Structure 1
């Protein structure tokens, strides 16, 4: 007879209790919740720096107030689209872009409406005129020399908006010699008189500015060579110039 082998009985594996799994899951959720809570209360979740770039006309305080956010506010709760809309309501601002950089940095970059000219406001302070004809108080209180000063213009002048839109489209270098522009209407309502830093008077029309200004340095240079003095240039449909009359010395007839 073959020998008998005693086979040990299989041990039963105890079933894992579902309660342990639930407890472990609850502990994980609890610690994650605590971590998230502590994170959002930490400095990492708050605005630490607000950077504003691109502004020349609008002040930092104007843009900051329009933005409506300050350091210490929640970094993650900022709605950049709403922030953009509020900043673009500032008169001088054409467009704004908002970029959030973790941790805690909010970068605001604005593009302002192009400048047309300058004027002395009703309060006697220097103002910059934007392309749409809107005046804006100058931050530095001093007239720069990149754009002409507008004088003698009334608020109800029908050519004001036309002039500002045309000037804003002209590069600074073409306006560098023009110091002042006055209305000078006749049968043409848009006729104007320009005063230059090279001591010329130029009579032209707003509708002709973009055509005539690129040639102004040539006209003034050739006029001086020919006449030995400055004078009045008529840059209209036909161009001509008249020298200034020499002043009579006192005591002479």
Structure 2
């Protein structure tokens, strides 16, 4: 009979180990509390915004477009949305917005460079970008860079559009020697360029970038007309009739 009775097991001095989920709960709880405290502290606020690469667009305009300012939450920043907003500016070619934890923002813009100036009927001077955009909202008020002025053009003129695209492809050292670019009186497809050496250059708008590469060869010539057409030749100003001075095939 005694053999059928199980032996009594004493539980005195033994403790049950806590469940693993309890440690997980404690860790998550305190981590959450620390995160909340971080969000409410100045450490989570944007402290510095670095802006670079801008010349035409002011820093204040960039901040307004991206809706960024010091003191906003770091976690409310959306870099992709800010980049899309900057790309809506006609001056901006590329834009990147990079956030650095915990409170730094880096904004880098690349602008379309100005290559010429458009003169309006009321003689306002508007920058023309290399993509052909005329910045009507950014007139030159007092001084202007040394860039050729498109004078006497209508914006919808296809020859003007072609000439703007071509002038953007022309090397800057040559482009800076041009003072004005106007419609040619004798041919709707040609332009007349006045240079700083008092040369009148006649060239088709669609060939401007290619043919004007020859202009440095004539730069030291006296004032006169340079024809960069099927044949390339120079006529001095002092002659009563054009005289062939230089020709290139």
Shorter-normalised TM range: 0.7 to 0.9
Q: How does 1:18-167 map to 2 (within 5 A)?
A: 18=18, 22=22, 26-121=25-120, 124-136=123-135, 137-138=138-139, 141-145=142-146, 147-167=147-167
SS at match of 2:117: strand
Q: How does 1:186-205 map to 2 (within 5 A)?
A: 186-187=186-187, 189-205=188-204
Q: Output one character per residue of 1:98-156: Cα deviation in whole Å (capped at 9) or x when no partner.
A: 111233111111111243311234665432112343211157752101x2111101122
Q: Output one character per residue of 1:7-55: Cα deviation in whole Å (capped at 9) or x when no partner.
A: xx98844223648984x65544333222111111222211112222111
Determine the C-alpha separation between the residues in 2 that align with 1:45 and 1:157: 54
Determine the C-alpha separation between the residues in 2 that align with 1:91 and 1:20: 59
Q: Which moved more, 1:133-142 or 1:177-186?
A: 133-142
Task: Name 2:230's counterpart in structure 1.
Answer: 237
1:20–1:149: structure 2 CA closer, same or farther, 3 Å change rule?
closer
SS at match of 2:14: coil
Determine the C-alpha separation between the residues in 2 that align with 1:148 and 1:197: 10
Q: TM-score, normalised by structure 2?
A: 0.81
Check whether the contact 1:126–1:142 (CA below 8 A) recurs between aligned residues: no
Determine the C-alpha separation between the residues in 2 that align with 1:20 and 1:203: 87
Root mean square deviation, CA, Å: 2.7
Determine the C-alpha separation between the residues in 2 that align with 1:120 and 1:18: 83
Determine the C-alpha separation between the residues in 2 that align with 1:218 and 1:142: 30
Q: TM-score, normalised by structure 1?
A: 0.80
Instruction: Work out the number of aligned pairs and report it.
Output: 230
Determine the C-alpha separation between the residues in 1 that align with 2:152 and 2:162: 16
Consecutive unaligned residues in structure 1, runs of 5 or more:
1-8, 248-253
Check whether the contact 2:199–2:226 (CA below 8 A) recurs between aligned residues: yes
Determine the C-alpha separation between the residues in 1 that align with 2:172 and 2:46: 39
SS at match of 1:159: helix
Check whether the contact 1:51–1:106 (CA below 8 A) recurs between aligned residues: yes
Confirm or deny that 1:172 pairs with 2:169.
no
Consecutive unaligned residues in structure 2, runs of 5 or more:
1-8, 241-249
1:171–1:41: structure 2 CA closer, same or farther, 3 Å change rule?
farther
Confirm or deny that 1:216 pairs with 2:209.
no
